[in-house]
Amino acid sequence: MNISIEKTVFICYNFIKELKRLYNSKYTIYTDGASYYNQSCKWLRIKHIVYNDNCKNIMKGYSTLKIELGAFDDYFPCKDDCSKKHVKNWLSVYYIL
């Protein structure tokens, strides 16, 4: 996982370069259209596609889910080693609420 406060072409380049190293360049990068993604993909010769509004809505929903689950976990943290079952239970509770 790569977390960065800044959004620059060099940080994006290093992140995509690591993805390319791990998964090869045969995959396509889908992004929201920020210029630093486009430039980084050009430098690394990776196919880059800006996703459409339907995909943006899906990505926004996923992002919202991550944020809300993180806040939920702040109030009810996992006490021991978290398992897949634990995460599945949190998702079930989230959808019930």
Taking alpha carbons only, the member of 31, 27, 30 closest to residue 7 is 31
Please state, in angstroms and as integers, the Cα–Cα distance from residue 8 to each residue in 12, 85, 92, following that order.
6, 37, 37
pTM, 2 dp: 0.55
- DSSP run (H or E) holding 59: helix 53-75
Q: Which residue has the higher pLDDT, 30 or 53?
A: 30
Domain ranges of the chain: 1-51, 53-97
Element (H, E) at 21: helix 9-23
For 32-84, what is each residue's pLDDT tens digit? 888 888 899 999 988 888 888 777 777 777 777 777 777 777 777 776 667 77
Beta strands in 1-97 (DSSP E): 29-31, 48-50
